[in-house]
Amino acid sequence: MSVNPPGETPLPPAEHCVNHPARPARLRCTKYSKPLCDMCVACQDPALYCKFRTECLVWEIERQKKKDEGR
Ligand SMILES: [Zn+2]
């Protein structure tokens, strides 16, 4: 039984990029819980092992980008 108190959302609806306070954040680093805008979509620690990578959208999108570029 999981309890989710009504009226309490884990995330505010309009989050902003950690690097660009003026830009809305579209994604979030799963490891650091950092909101990132389109421009900042990149793994925060690409050299470090990250156990969240398999579920991290940021990492996934960065991977896709590199795949597209490295044709
Ligand atoms: Zn940004």
Per-residue pLDDT tens for 19-31?
999 999 999 988 9
**In sequence order, what are the beta bridge partners of 29?**
34
For residue 13, being part of any structural domain is answered with: no
Is residue 51 in some structural domain?
Answer: yes
pTM: predicted TM-score of the whole model, two decimal places: 0.64
Tens-place pLDDT, residues 12-70 = 557 999 999 999 999 998 898 899 998 998 888 888 889 998 989 888 888 898 899 88
* Per-residue pLDDT, 65: 87
Q: Is 58 a member of any domain?
A: yes
Does the residue 57 lie in any domain?
Answer: yes
Please give the residue range of the domain that contains residue 35: 27-69
Q: Report the SS3 class of residue 31.
A: coil
What is the whole-number distance in angstroms between the Cα of residue 64 and the centre of ligand 1?
Answer: 19
Find out whether 61 and 39 touch, Cβ atoms under 8 Å: no
- Alpha carbon of 41 to ligand 1 centroid (Å): 8
Amino acid at 7: G
CA 28–ligand 1 middle distance (angstroms)? 11
Give the CA radius of gyration of the chain.
14
What total number of domains does the chain contain?
A: 1
